[in-house]
Structure 1
Amino acid sequence: MEWIPWALSILLLIFIFTGQVVHLHQKQRLEQQRRKEQLEIAEIQTEMNAIQKELHHERDITELIQKYMAEGLLILDDSDKIQMANRTAVAQLHIPEENWNDKSIFILTENAEFLDALRQSKIKQQSKVHALLKIDGKYIRARINRVEMGGIFGTIVLLVDVTYNVKAEKMRQEFTANVSHELKTPLTTIKGFGEMFGSGMITQKNDVQKYGAMIERESERLLFLINDIIRLSEIEEHSDLLDTQVELRTSAQSALQILDPVIQRNQIQIQLEGSCLLLRSNESYIRELFVNLIDNAIKYNNPGGTVHISISRAEQQAKIVITDNGIGIPLHAQSRIFERFYRVDKSRSKQRGGTGLGLSIVKHIVDYHNGVISLRSELGHGTEITILLPIQP
């Protein structure tokens, strides 16, 4: 039985070794589990960092859009308190920037038109309201939407500056009305006298000459009007290129030759000064510019008056100044003098002739050259028009 202790010793050694192996295996397994968890935590942290970075990026973009967007943006809660307002909306509605959290929009702004539109949006049947506001001389289109999310109500307001569109539409309507009127007047005259000729009412030689001359005069007026409308449309479309070297003094002299009969008839003294100055332009445009400006200076002058034309260079610009000592333009009309068909005194304009498009054509020609036109006038003391056109090397 001497082998029993020896066997027990061997079994004990085997047990101890097995336990160490199991412990080592468990330790390795725990280490692997710990490393796996660390990797998972690192991946989660990376994902969280990416999400946080994306959220910060989206927040920055949102703030950037709110700050620099041209439209006004306003978000109100159910109590009409401001939750968000960009600086455009603040400026448009004159909202003070303090105590937004404690005050309703009905207290923060005094714009009655906007507040009326806001009240309408609270009516269930009119949750979307569009209103045209006039603020500080500008036209603002307000789009007000009453929204609901999860039982929480609020209001989103978008304020869009539509001043250009509104004014353009008014100009289009005025242009259409003026064209209709200007075309109708000579056509009515021509039609009336034509019917009189056709019915045999006009038979005397003197009457034939008299009314025939009136028909001819009205026909010319109608033709001039149509030509001016077509020319204005061509200039607006930039159908002619500015690709010719034009000598300004020569163009002015050419315009004076065209207007010589009018100059002689009104006994106007013309003074032209200026040296040779070349401009990359279009010869017909520059000639038209001089013709229309000088013609206006003659028409709205006094018999025996003076028109002074100056051509010079001001750094990289050609400077044209046309001055007369005529009847002048009242202050209230000076801002509209370059509009199509605008006439300061319609009764006097009919006597002096013209289509009412001359100065509008001049303005379009100057704009096409990226130039600037300005006017200085005093009623009863004449008018001075200055034009600056860039000189391209």
Structure 2
Amino acid sequence: MTKRIFRAVFLVSALALAVGLAFLMVVLYQFFGGQLETELKNEASYLSIAVENDGAKALEELPEHAERVTLISKDGDVLFDNRADASEMENHAEREEIREARERGYGQAVRTSNTLAEKTVYYALRLENGDVLRISSTQYTVAALLGGLLQPVLLVLIMVLILSGIFASRASKKIVKPLNELDLDDPEANETYDEVAPLLGKIRNQQRTIQQQLSAAKRQQQEFSIITENMSEGLLVIDKQTDLLSFNSSALRILGAKAAPQNQSVLTLNRSEPFRRTIDAVLAGGHRTELLQVQDGFCQLIANPVLRRGEVAGAVLLLVDVTERIQRENLRREFTANVSHELKTPLTSISGFAEIIQDGFVKQEDIKKFAGKIFDEAQRLIVLVGDVIKISQLDEGCLPYEEEEVDLFQAAGEILQRLHDPAQERGVSLHLEGGHIIHQTVKPILEEILYNLCENGIKYNREGGSVTVTVRRGEDGAEISVKDTGIGIPKPQQERIFERFYRVDKSHSKEVGGTGLGLSIVKHGAAYLGAGVSVHSEPGQGSEFILAWRGKK
């Protein structure tokens, strides 16, 4: 801006100088031209008096550098000329100034020389005897005058241009300085030219609008961040070069990445072939859904292109953690296979025994024995079906029970009473410790949990061992502990004992019987009651299962 102001001031100054100089030259030229005509007229008047008194002899005494004086007779012949030989000069009767002088007593004429660039001014005065006295003087034309003054004029022009440049530079800087010192963050606090006030007003209004827009954009960004950060699904936004533009923490968690790459390709988060194939497909403009295996789980990758004016500008990737669903599906398939296997064993036995009896291969005295085996297998089948039904009901949460106030100590005592005979048969003693605690819970499910834990404590105990049930108040709520002195559970297998049909020692399980669903029922039942179940066990030293309600005292 300073340069533009400088150029404008400098050009205006130079133009004003040129116009002023030209105007001055014209004025001076006109002034000196008029002055010359006046001098010629006065000189002609003086000389006419001398000529009328003394004749042409009066003109012979003129100084050498005097103006040119010519005396012309009535007929136009030249009688005298102080610059030329009068006898050799042509007749002047037709000269303009001579004709005017004869007619009205005086005459004027101006003639310009094309070769010498000079202008000659003539003034003629008619004498009393009819002769004409003419005086002439030479005056330079404007072009000739400028040519003669070219060097000093150029010098003056250069000096004036330099001064104009200096003054223009100072003026432009002085003009721009208040503009450069404007505080645009606070337009109202500026003191500057009145002409700038409308601009500052517009800037102030624009700043308010921009601030409002920025606040709205920041608020929307915060809302978007809050929404995306609280999503369980992962969100990734990429451009058409696969560079990562936006993401949420769930995406990093699902992909197992510690940090998102800055200005890098999203492929650095996952280099698997399905992931790369999905990225290529979505950036080609297609919708894509892919199942990815990440770390120890699975995620569903849903990719959609982002179009701008009909062209792909990027893509939005949605990652849904489907590990639990896949595990449930696998568990359901495994459960179906296990149920089929467990049902097949007693049914095969029942079918086999019944077929032997039907074919008459059994003696009359052995029929009762075979019927007993059929009954045992049928009872085993009934228990298995019952446990499967319980597991299904716990999974669906559709048990027809309501919570009630239950004395946990009394409920544990009733379970031990029911298991007195099986414990006595295996030589296992039962003990109940603790105190009475009233708790709001579902009694049938609680009894089922305690029964399974105590029954397992008896089945997997050593002869002469014990099972101790303790009802107490823990740090966070009521607790029931079931501790035995049995075979114990190895540490690596403690995480799997709550799986359906899982058995630590399959050979020993066949001896003691059971469906393999007891601890699974315990886990799901505890979850239904809003409690947690944990296990502490050492091989050969027994196990302790703790059922604890957190936050309920």
Instruction: Give 2:434's aligned residue.
Output: 274
**TM-score for both structures, normalised by structure 1:** 0.78
What aligned pairs does 1:162-241 form with structure 2 within 5 A after superposition?
162-202=322-362, 204-235=363-394, 236-241=397-402
**Aligned-partner residue type, residue 207 of structure 1:** D
Verify: 1:87 aligned to 2:249, yes or no.
yes
Name the SS for the 2:494 alignment partner: helix
Query: Conserved in 2, the CA contact under 8 Å of 1:246 and 1:281?
Result: yes
Query: Conserved in 2, the CA contact under 8 Å of 1:328 and 1:382?
Result: yes
Cα distance between partner residues in 1 of 2:446 and 2:253? 43
**TM-score for both structures, normalised by structure 2:** 0.57
Verify: 1:142 aligned to 2:301, yes or no.
yes
Cα distance, 1:184 vs. partner?
A: 1.6
1:108-129 deviation digits (Å, cap 9, x = unpaired): 33542554333552696x9333
Query: Conserved in 2, the CA contact under 8 Å of 1:121 and 1:145?
Result: no
Verify: 1:131 aligned to 2:293, yes or no.
no
Verify: 1:61 aligned to 2:223, yes or no.
yes
**Aligned-partner residue type, residue 304 of structure 2:** N
What aligned pairs does 1:152-163 form with structure 2 within 5 A after superposition?
152-163=312-323
Query: Conserved in 1, the CA contact under 8 Å of 2:472 and 2:478?
Result: yes
Query: Conserved in 2, the CA contact under 8 Å of 1:117 and 1:131?
Result: no
How many residues align? The count is 347
Cα distance between partner residues in 1 of 2:484 and 2:549? 21
225-234 vs 323-332, greater mean Cα deviation: 225-234
Cα distance between partner residues in 1 of 2:408 and 2:507? 35
Name the SS for the 2:402 alignment partner: coil
Query: Conserved in 1, the CA contact under 8 Å of 2:237 and 2:247?
Result: yes
Instruction: Give 1:74's aligned residue.
Output: 236
Cα distance between partner residues in 1 of 2:316 and 2:476? 50
Identity across the alignment (%): 35
Cα distance, 1:365 vs. partner?
A: 2.6
Cα distance, 1:298 vs. partner?
A: 0.9
**Aligned-partner residue type, residue 78 of structure 1:** K
Cα distance, 1:348 vs. partner?
A: 2.4
Instruction: Give 1:311's aligned residue.
Output: 471
Instruction: Give 2:415's aligned residue.
Output: 255
Query: Conserved in 1, the CA contact under 8 Å of 2:260 and 2:269?
Result: no
1:134-154 deviation digits (Å, cap 9, x = unpaired): 333232211123454333443
Instruction: Give 1:8's aligned residue.
Output: none
210-219 vs 144-153, greater mean Cα deviation: 144-153
Query: Which stretches in structure 2 are left out of the alignment for 5+ residues?
Result: 1-204
Cα distance, 1:382 vs. partner?
A: 1.3
Going from structure 1 to structure 2, the CA distance change for 1:270 and 1:157 (only over 3 Å counts) comes to: same
Cα distance, 1:238 vs. partner?
A: 3.6
Cα distance between partner residues in 2 of 1:69 and 1:391? 27
Cα distance between partner residues in 2 of 1:172 and 1:333? 21
Going from structure 1 to structure 2, the CA distance change for 1:51 and 1:282 (only over 3 Å counts) comes to: closer
1:46-83 deviation digits (Å, cap 9, x = unpaired): 99988776555544433333333322222222221122
1:5-47 deviation digits (Å, cap 9, x = unpaired): xxxxxxxxxxxxxxxxxxxxxxxxxxxxxxxxxxxxxx99999
What aligned pairs does 1:341-360 form with structure 2 within 5 A after superposition?
341-360=501-520
Cα distance, 1:356 vs. partner?
A: 1.5
1:298-343 deviation digits (Å, cap 9, x = unpaired): 1111222222221112256222111112111122221121222222
Cα distance between partner residues in 2 of 1:280 and 1:92? 38
Going from structure 1 to structure 2, the CA distance change for 1:169 and 1:96 (only over 3 Å counts) comes to: same
Name the SS for the 2:360 alignment partner: coil
Partner of residue 403 from structure 2, selected from 232, 242, 247: 242
Instruction: Give 2:14's aligned residue.
Output: none
1:174-199 deviation digits (Å, cap 9, x = unpaired): 22222222112111111121122222
What aligned pairs does 1:366-377 form with structure 2 within 5 A after superposition?
366-377=526-537
